[in-house]
Structure 1
Amino acid sequence: MTRQRMKRCILITIDMMIVLISGLCALAMRFDITQIPMGYLDTMLRFMPLDMLLTVCIFRLFHLYHGVWTFVSISDVVRAMEAVVVVNLVETFYKLMLQVNMPRSYYLLNMLFLFVLAVGSRMSLRVFNYYRSRFLCPKDQRRTMIIGAGSAGNILIHELYRNKHCDNKVVCVIDDNVDKKNKYIGGIKIIGDRWMIKEAIKEYEIEEIIIAIPSAKPQDKSEIIGLCSGTRCRVRILPEISSTLTGMMSQNLREVNLQDLIGRESVKVNEEGIQSFIAGEVVLVTGGGGSIGSELCRQVMAQGPKQLVVFDIYENNAYDLQQELGRKYGTDRLRVLIGSVRDYDKLKAVFEEYRPAIVYHAAAHKHVPLMEDSPCEAVKNNCLGTLNAARLADEYKAKDFVLISTDKAVRPTNVMGATKRICEMIVQCYARKSVTHFAAVRFGNVLGSSGSVVPLFLKQIEEGGPVTVTHRDITRFFMTIPEAVSLVLQASLYACGGEIFVLDMGKPVRIYDLAESLIRMQGYTPDRDIEIKIVGLRPGEKLHEEILMDEEGLHRTENELIHIGRPIPMDAGRFRIDLDALIEAAFQNDSQIKERVAQMCPGYVITENNEKSLAENENLDFVEDRGLVVSGDLNSVEILEEEAPLATGEFLGKGEKAVGIA
């Protein structure tokens, strides 16, 4: 006999005993327990086997032997009540038909006792678990604070009681609703709002904090995490309800991640549109082994392309990606090729063989300090690489070409940003004359990418510090790698030719605050356990990044988080002549290469040392409007409205080209 069937037999036996007990209690209630007429008692006992059989059959029809009664809910109680009422009606009917002599009040009393005992027997396990968790639990349980007294918090509290494998003991609850203060949820007192967190941690000796507000805005979660930081308590988060449906809530609790610290909402994209756009097409990703490129490859493969061609110069990255995608999707639709975008002949051979319909150009040098020391390499890889890829996409009539750009291309103060701005101009030049839809996607820093600030901080914390920050007030826009890639894919749908897509990236993050949060997240106290050291701005580094130049303007797309900057008019013929000269100078290792870049990239401020970089940026006003930042010259700032209209006052349609090349 299986364990489940054994439990069912035990429950049936208990119900049969309950039928007998409820009948005796009904007679005892109707008469004095010592004065029950023997005739009524004999009649009840004579029909008892039939009553037991009737009760078990009806309970079975109402699935009272199939429920998980350790998770008994109101709906289970209602179903039990319905079953008891049906039992009573059938019992009363057949006994009246047989003219059984029993007091009429007996039937009502019997029904009440049967309901109480049937439900009570089923809830007894839950009651036992409740008291076991509160009074019989091991002493090494972690004293836990729950933040959020809503339905999710309530369910979590009860589950922590029931789960014998869980070592959390909930001792207090925090909620911002003032009407809930000093009330109880799951037997636990709600002691106040979020501003009492630190006080409550000391008073209740809290060891772990669980944030159980799945529907909270990212900004609110970030603020709550900030209040929990520095307490040495473990902090976990209950994710969105949709992600907990596959199991118990306690099993879905996760640690605080970087996106929680920054407090920004995820980008919402047209997933169906992206799938229909990519499915069945040949897609080429240059720089496919990098942080952005590899995520592009992952998301593209998930959309079912006819073939994905990964092109990268670094064989180790390419090999790792090949193994990962091969295990998940097989190798039939995957080609991984090694080569440089500088090598026109090699890249042309790729276009000739595979004829890609969609090209995502992610290959580039991106490290600001390194490119300041090797500016010619930045020109070769970024400018020449983009020129080669764009030229071949045009020649082989690819359907779409999307350039991965950066917010450092806006009023650049470093070679990397200036060369990426030139890349954008290359794309806009080809957009004017090509049947290919050329576009660029511009976004800020990517969380967790190789060489980004977050892995550096984590490594410095692991080594015991100090954590190095270039300036106390330096800020950056951040987004996750999947978000950045989602925007790139969405841009493919909106691309008509020449657009620079800009993401509403929310509020800029102060790097010093991020460093403090990361230190606290690792269980340390800033400037006590781990020092934060200010080292000064590096050559070419801005104090505040921008994502839009004032000349570019701004208009909307169908996605409220994705905007389009208008291309700045330029002389395409003059630009191409200057570009060829710039690339030739780079291959000759021209010592004046930065000056040549500055001639091609209006607004590029050449910085040679920290002092100049800092001085330039301290005079630059910083304006933030939902993360869409624009600026004028050093003496004035122009704020462009978030919903600035197009020249026509309408959204861009698929047939329109947003180009302004003279």
Structure 2
Amino acid sequence: MLSKTDILSIIGRKKQLFTQELNSHREVISNSISGARVLIIGAAGSIGSATTIQLADFGPKQLHLLDINENEMADLVRRLRVGEHLQQYTELRSFIIDVNDPMFEVFCRDGRGYDFVFNLSAMKHVRSESNLYSLARLIETNIISTIRIIKYLSSSGPFKYFCVSTDKAANPVNLMGMSKLVMENYAFSNEFGIPVSSARFANVAFSSGSLLESFDRRIRERRPLVIPQGIKRYFISEEEAGSICLLSCIIAPHRGILVPSENSGLQLIAFEHIVEAYLDVLGFSPEIFEAGSNSIPVPDPDGATWPVVLSAVDTTGEKPFEEFMGAGDALVESSFRELSIILKDGCPPLMALGEFERRFFALRASAHAAKSDYVSLLTKTGATIDYADVGKYLDDKM
């Protein structure tokens, strides 16, 4: 198992980011969270659990966790119960509920009120847009359910709402990124008067479902590693992602999106460098092969090298580099050094939310709906995308 030091070394750094930001804002965070009622949706995921553990340190009165992954939720609750983060007086409760399920509305309307709501539930993989069935769930989860949370919980009183976005929402080239851009626009212009903040951050190294996490499994199974050729990404750790979410919810203003700043020192890193650093930690050197090569050997755990397959970037929705700011985004002054705040204008989308929902559910119920119909629906909100469906997806590759 990789240590925190190993992970930082692999992503090109020696020290953890955002510690200074947490320390300088600790009093404000403590005054806000101590004794507060907090709900974390998507708590059992990699980012959700990292956020939960950091938040527990500040002693909320209630810490309610919601997720659909029963096993990961059980693990998170065990970690909180046996660790040093959870305060004795904090009421910890877990709920296994899907935000897209009718039971979620029952949960929200059950007379409960919260001071802070973190929504970390999301469909985050570009590969999920390859078919209209997964795409429909992606749109419902990332857009409709995100706004439903505001609608349902606002009836019990005001709260600060954080919903996670993605760097892919900046000048999107895929539908996952566009769904998050549309989510931002609807959330920030919500009609219920709920203050909303968000965050766009880098690839979370070794998080659940990530390419880097698959490296460990491929090593155990004695399989070649596979990376996209010439792709560069920003990388942060799970703990750093949790810090950004916590800081955004407590410190960022309404319509504010927290992003890593130039002062953070984050650099775009090619996957070729990542895999070389990863294998170096394990005592191997990479042996490079082109995808489709017939000479890729079975890895030898006692050898000095490990086969690495370079995969050409020729699938729908892939972006060769990451960026945090999109067209029209503007930064505002803040008390942060390693983070910046994008302040969105709050102009509502061209299509009212109720009409968007009506058209979405009509499409989902139709036997004749096509993927292009969902793409058209997204664009009619006024969000722009540089999208080309080339008919090839990540599921078609190693």
Quickly name the TM-score band, shorter chain normalised.
0.7 to 0.9
**Could you report, residue by residue, the CA deviation over 1:388-415 in whole angstroms, capped at 9, with x for unpaired residues?**
1122243333320011111011122222
Aligned match of 1:551: 328
- The within-5 A match list for 1:600-619 is 600=381, 602-609=383-390
Partner of residue 60 from structure 2, selected from 270, 285, 305: 305
Q: Aligned partners of 1:588 and 1:606: how far apart in 2? A: 25
Partner of 2:44, secondary structure, is: coil
User: What is the SS of the residue equivalent to 1:324?
Assistant: helix
Where do 1:173-184 residues align within 5 Å?
A: none
Counterpart secondary structure, 1:496: coil
**1:292 maps to what in 2?**
47
Q: Which amino acid aligns with 1:274?
A: I
379, 385, 407: which is aligned to 2:139? Answer: 379
**Stretch of structure 1 that moved more, 501-510 or 445-454:** 501-510
Q: Relative contact order (C-alpha < 8 Å, sep 6+): which is higher?
A: 2
1:262 to 2:11 alignment: yes
Distance change in 2, residues 1:272/1:263 (3 Å):
farther
Q: 1:278 aligns with which of 26, 33, 45?
A: 33
Match of 2:205 in 1: 447
Which residue pairs with 1:422 in the alignment?
Answer: 182
1:388 corresponds to which residue? Answer: 148
The answer to whether the 8 A contact 1:371-1:377 is kept is no
Q: Deviations over 1:406-455 (max 9, x none)?
A: 1011122222211111111121112xx54432111111111221011211
* Structure 2 residue 244 is matched with structure 1 residue 487: yes
The 1:569/1:424 distance shift into structure 2, 3 A limit, reads: closer
Residues 256, 288 of structure 1: alpha-carbon distance in 2 compared, 3 angstrom cutoff: closer
Distance 1:480 1:610, change over 3 A: farther
Deviation at 1:302, TM superposition (A): 1.4
CA RMSD of aligned residues (A): 2.6
TM-score by length of 1: 0.51
Q: Deviations over 1:506-557 (max 9, x none)?
A: 1111111101111122111111722221222232121112111130121231
CA distance in 1, matches of 2:278, 2:74: 32
Name structure 1 gaps, 5 residues minimum. 1-235, 237-253, 614-662
More divergent stretch after superposition (602-611 vs 313-322) = 602-611
For residue 582 of structure 1, report the CA deviation from its aligned partner.
4.5
Residue matched to 1:507: 267
Shift of 1:294: 1.4
- Write the letter of the residue equivalent to 2:110: E
**Aligned-partner residue type, residue 275 of structure 2:** A
Q: Is the 1:554–1:563 Cα contact (8 Å) retained in structure 2?
A: yes
> Quick one: which of 294, 310, 317 aligns to 1:534?
310
SS of match in other structure, 2:285: coil
Check whether the contact 1:461–1:519 (CA below 8 A) recurs between aligned residues.
no
Q: How does 1:90-489 map to 2 (within 5 A)?
A: 256-264=5-13, 265-267=16-18, 268=20, 269=22, 270-328=25-83, 329=86, 333-343=91-101, 346-350=104-108, 352-373=110-131, 374-430=134-190, 433-471=191-229, 473-489=230-246
Of structures 1 and 2, the larger Rg is shown by 1
Contact 1:446 1:484 in 2 (8 A): yes
Residue segments in structure 2 that go unaligned for 5+ positions in a row: 289-304
For 1:612 and 1:352, the matched residues in 2 are separated by: 42
Seen in structure 2, the aligned counterparts of structure 1 residues 274 and 463 have a Cα distance that, compared at 3 Å, is same
Structure 1 counterpart of 2:253, which letter? Answer: C
Which 4+ stretches in 1 moved above 4 angstroms?
Answer: 610-613
Q: Distance in 1 between matches of 2:391 and 2:269?
A: 21
Counterpart residue number, 2:341: 564
Provide the rounded CA distance (Å) in 1 between the counterparts of 2:49 and 2:4: 25
Encode CA deviations 1:19-51: one digit per residue, 9 max, x unaligned.
xxxxxxxxxxxxxxxxxxxxxxxxxxxxxxxxx
| In structure 1, C-alpha distance between the alignment counterparts of 2:51 and 2:393, rounded to whole Å | 37
Q: Which amino acid in 2 is paired with 1:467? A: L
Give the drift of 1:496: 2.8
Following superposition, the deviation at residue 345 of structure 1 comes to: 5.1
Shift of 1:576: 1.9
Residues 576, 585 of structure 1: alpha-carbon distance in 2 compared, 3 angstrom cutoff: same
Q: Are positions 1:598 and 2:374 aligned together?
A: no
| Percent identity (aligned) | 24
1: distance between equivalents of 2:185 and 2:39? Answer: 21
Residues in 2 aligned to 1:517 and 1:601: alpha-carbon distance in whole angstroms: 42
State how far apart, in whole Å, the 2-side matches of 1:585 and 1:410 are.
29
Asked whether the equivalents of residues 282 and 306 of structure 1 are also in contact (C-alpha less than 8 Å), the reply is yes
Instruction: Decide which structure has greater helix share.
Output: 1
Structure 2: distance between partners of 1:360 and 1:308? 11
Q: What is the DSSP-based 3-state SS (H/G/I as helix, E as strand, rest coil) of the residue aligned with 2:286?
A: coil
Whether contact under 8 Å (1:447, 1:478) holds in the other structure is yes
- Evaluate the alpha carbon distance shift between residue 276 and residue 531 of structure 1 in structure 2; reply closer, same or farther with a 3 A threshold: same
State the AA in 2 paired with 1:497.
H
Q: In structure 2, how many angstroms separate the alpha carbons of the residues matched to 1:593 and 1:372?
A: 12
Alpha-carbon distance in structure 1 between the residues aligned to 2:5 and 2:231: 24
How far apart in 1 are the matches of 2:97 and 2:217?
31
* Distance (whole Å) between structure 2 residues aligned to residue 498 and residue 507 of structure 1: 26
Answer whether contact 2:160 2:195 (CA < 8 A) is retained.
yes
**Residues 351, 271 of structure 1: CA spacing in aligned structure 2 closer, same or farther, 3 A cutoff?**
farther
User: CA separation in 2, counterparts of 1:586 and 1:321?
Assistant: 37
Structure 1 residues 443 and 351: alpha-carbon distance in aligned structure 2, compared to 1, 3 A threshold: farther
Q: d(CA) in 2 for partners of 1:399 and 1:255?
A: 34
Q: 2-side partners of 1:611 and 1:552: how far apart?
A: 31
- 1:498 pairs, out of 255, 259, 262, with 255
